[in-house]
């Protein structure tokens, strides 16, 4: 009877240790999931900033190109008018 009780206590201690281990593992998983969510959120924020920055940069380049093309077009018109004797 004493041996059976000792076996039962050993089983209970092992079960308690396993439960504690499982709880700790669960907490580690939760922390890892939280950290993963934070990393994903930061990556999405960074991606959005990059997208917006690249759109602004492209718009800036296109504005400069538009200005240059407009100036070139005016130069071409003036040159053609000069060739035709019109000022």
* Tens-digit pLDDT profile for residues 41-74: 999 999 999 999 999 999 999 999 999 999 999 9
What's the pTM? 0.53
CA distance 12 to 8: 6
Can you give the residue range of the structural domain that contains 16? Answer: 1-87
CA distance 68 to 30: 57
pLDDT in tens, 3-20: 878 877 888 888 888 888
**Domains contained in the chain, number:** 1
DSSP assignment letter at 15: H
């Amino acid at each position: 009877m004493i041996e059976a009780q000792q076996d039962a206590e050993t089983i209970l201690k092992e079960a308690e240790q396993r439960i504690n281990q499982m709880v700790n593992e669960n907490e580690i998983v939760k922390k890892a999931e939280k950290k993963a969510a934070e990393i994903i959120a930061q990556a999405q924020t960074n991606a959005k900033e990059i997208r917006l920055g690249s759109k602004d940069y492209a718009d800036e380049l296109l504005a400069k190109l538009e200005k240059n093309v407009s100036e070139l077009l005016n130069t071409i018109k003036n040159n053609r008018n000069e060739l035709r004797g019109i000022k």
